[in-house]
Structure 1
Amino acid sequence: MPIRIDSDLPARAILEEENVFVMDKERACTQDIRPLRIAILNLMPNKLDTELHLLRSLSNTPLQLDITFLQTESYIPTHVPESHLEKFYNYFSEIRDKKFDGMIITGAPVELKEFEDVDYWKEVADIMEWSKSHVTSTLHICWAAQAGLYYHYGIKKHILDKKVSGVYAHYPLHNKLPIVRGFDDKFYVPHSRNTGVDGDAIRQNKELIIAAESNETGPYIILNQNGSQIFVTGHPEYDVMSLHLEYVRDLKRGLNPEIPKNYYKDNDPQKGPVKSWRCHANAMYYNWLNYYVYQVTPYEL
């Protein structure tokens, strides 16, 4: 799939090295097709890594995507050069009059705070409200999934007895739902979080469907009846080294973290991680783009 991104975006060189087809906007303009317009509200601290992870995940369909990265105005990130944000990111106020085919809202390292105590909560809530009328389908990842379930449906999160960290087995519950089309009866997903969602409250809400879940980590893919709001509680976009880097970071902080479950070969960090989730991650993003964005969105936005 050709991804339309700025020719100077650092992720571009890495994607090209991985043989992912990326296209600059000058070349894209010569093609007589309308690309899907995808906004990404990137709330993760290391924005460059998240850009790469998401662009890699979106690279497995024949659809052409035009990516717009968004940042918050109410909170200034400290883990990314200001020049990078100025060059490659937009504020919500700059695009709020536009419409998009799809949007992704990422996770954020604020899960232990109450939603209303997060510095940029009001802005994120405004964006989620705006998405209902300006975006065909919005995909919420990890913390954003919890935030979206809370904002749209009043479903609260809760603090877990211990952190969920590792790669866990999951099962599709509705094989005919397009979001899990092509999934195996058992598939794996990375998780890294201290909070969870209320599965019983989700099941009691007639507007929501749990499409896949885990016996260990709970509901994984939740969506509303028309697929305009989709909530993914894990990190399917994670790079093979993401959990390792988090584990090493927490070791250096003296947090005595548990070894990520089902992640390292023979459960030994010295032997390195085993990649076991990419095929299903790619299938999920493909299904979202094809069935909930491309097949539904109007040609004229």
Structure 2
Amino acid sequence: MRPLQIGILNVMHDKAATNARFTKVLTHAGRPVALHFYYPKTHYPSGAPAEVAAILAPLDLAAAERMDGFVITGAPIEQLAFADVTYIAEVQALMAALAGRAVPQLYLCWGGMAALDYFYGIEKHLLPHKLFGVYRERRLAPAPLLAGLPDEFYAAHARYAEMDRGQIEADARLHLEATTASGELLLVDRPEANQTFMFAHLEYGREGLLHEYQREVTAHPERQYLRPAHYFTDPQTMSGPQFRWEETQHVFFDRWVDRVWAKREAKEVSA
């Protein structure tokens, strides 16, 4: 069986760990998958550091258009205006190329924000405090990418911003399929346009939220950061992180890979 070719634009801070996470979640379903990891060239105007160039290739739009599916990751820059992101034009060129060739697209966290802004003009706003922790989710509509999950399921969130829910609901092209129990975005889907927007960090493993907290504290020890909520067995000592979104992770990524596979099969039959 010919492997699926899936491209990933990795704009996360921990690039090697991110590569490992996506390798794990996108191969969980057992389908043959070949992953191609990229970085935006305009992020490194003087050339990518050696540690980046060793594990990521410079983004190639022609290669991206030939992929069976493509993922744009989150990035810890959601507090920046899109215009202030040095590589936003390159990301938008990638999104336009993928949409133009009808490549199935998965946009995660900041990637989902940038895509909703670019394609649909949905506005971003900062949250009063970081949405950080493990939250109970609820389905608002049939959600094929979440099919098989129990009524009560969980996801790991880590973001400082949110997209305008009212604008999403007012756009008939977009399907808001799931939110947290308190109404923050989880999943927006538009399968007929090959676009999926996921606002949780479902790719994180058990210790992903802990590592994110530690990264922020290490970078700015003078600041007070919220600890991830509903996550530790003992919140006082921050011990015993619980992987309550593991089932959600498996179901979502397995079903997205299945969707990409079905899309490729249908394309080959019609060719």
Provide the TM-score with structure 1 as the length reference: 0.82
Aligned counterpart in structure 1 of residue 177 of structure 2, from 199, 202, 211: 211
Q: Which residue of 2 aligns with 1:149?
A: 116
**1:181 aligned onto 2:147:** yes
**Superposition map of 1:125-204 within 5 A:** 125-175=92-142, 177-204=143-170
2: distance between equivalents of 1:84 and 1:214? 34
* 1:286 positional shift: 0.7
Q: Whole-Å Cα distance in 1 between the matches of residues 82 and 176 of structure 2?
A: 23
Match of residue 244 from structure 2: 276
1:217-275 Cα deviation digits (max 9, x unpaired): 51211011515010001100012112112222333422211221101113233423111
Deviation at 1:62, TM superposition (A): 2.9
Unpaired runs of 5+ residues, structure 1, are 1-32
Give 1:91 shift. Answer: 2.3
State the alpha-carbon separation in 2 of the partners of residues 271 and 59 from structure 1.
Answer: 29
Question: Aligned in 2, Cα 1:258/1:83: closer, same or farther, shift over 3 Å?
Answer: closer
Deviation at 1:171, TM superposition (A): 1.1
Q: Which structure would you say has the larger RCO, counting Cα contacts within 8 Å and 6 or more residues apart?
A: 2
Q: What residue in structure 1 maps to residue 18 of structure 2?
A: 50
The alpha-carbon deviation at position 81 of structure 1 amounts to 5.2
Query: What's the % identity of the aligned pairs?
Result: 28
Instruction: Tell me the CA shift for residue 188 of structure 1.
Output: 0.9
1:216 deviates by 3.0
Other-structure match for 1:118: 85
- The whole-number CA distance in structure 2 between the counterparts of 1:81 and 1:208 is 38
Choose from 69, 73, 80 the match for 1:106: 73
Contact 2:38 2:58 in 1 (8 A): yes
Partner of 2:194: 228
| Bigger shift: residues 132-141 or 148-157 | 132-141
Unaligned runs of 5+ in 2: none
Distance 2:112 2:145 in 1: 16
Please tell me whether the aligned partners of residues 180 and 211 of structure 1 are also in contact (alpha carbons under 8 angstroms).
no
Q: Distance in 2 between matches of 1:77 and 1:66?
A: 28
Contact 1:209 1:225 in 2 (8 A): no
For residue 239 of structure 1, what is the aligned residue in structure 2?
Answer: 205
Q: Which amino acid aligns with 1:211?
A: E
Work out whether residues 192 and 243 of structure 1, in 8 Å CA contact, stay in contact via their aligned partners in 2.
yes
Partner SS for 1:265: strand
- Which deviations, in whole Å up to 9, do the C-alpha atoms of 1:96-122 show, x marking residues without a partner? 5x4111111001121111111100000
Deviations 1:130-161 (A, max 9, x none): 01123531000000011111001000110011
Shift of 1:279: 1.1
SS in 2 for 1:272: strand
Alpha-carbon separation, structure 1, partners of 2:130 and 2:246: 23
Q: Equivalent residue of 2:141, what SS?
A: coil
Secondary structure, aligned partner of 2:192: coil
Indicate the SS of the match to 1:220: strand
- SS of the counterpart of 2:41? coil
What is the distance in 2 between the residues matched to 1:190 and 1:258? 15
For 2:161, the aligned partner's letter is T
* C-alpha distance in 2 between matches for 1:59 and 1:269: 34
CA deviation profile, 1:160-215 (whole Å, cap 9, x unmatched): 1111111111012223x321111111111111111011111111100000111113
Change (3 A) 1:244 1:133: same
Q: TM-score when scaled to structure 2?
A: 0.91
What value does the CA root-mean-square deviation take over the aligned residues?
2.1
- Match for residue 299 of structure 1? 268
Residue identity opposite 2:268 in structure 1: Y
Contact 1:103 1:138 in 2 (8 A): yes
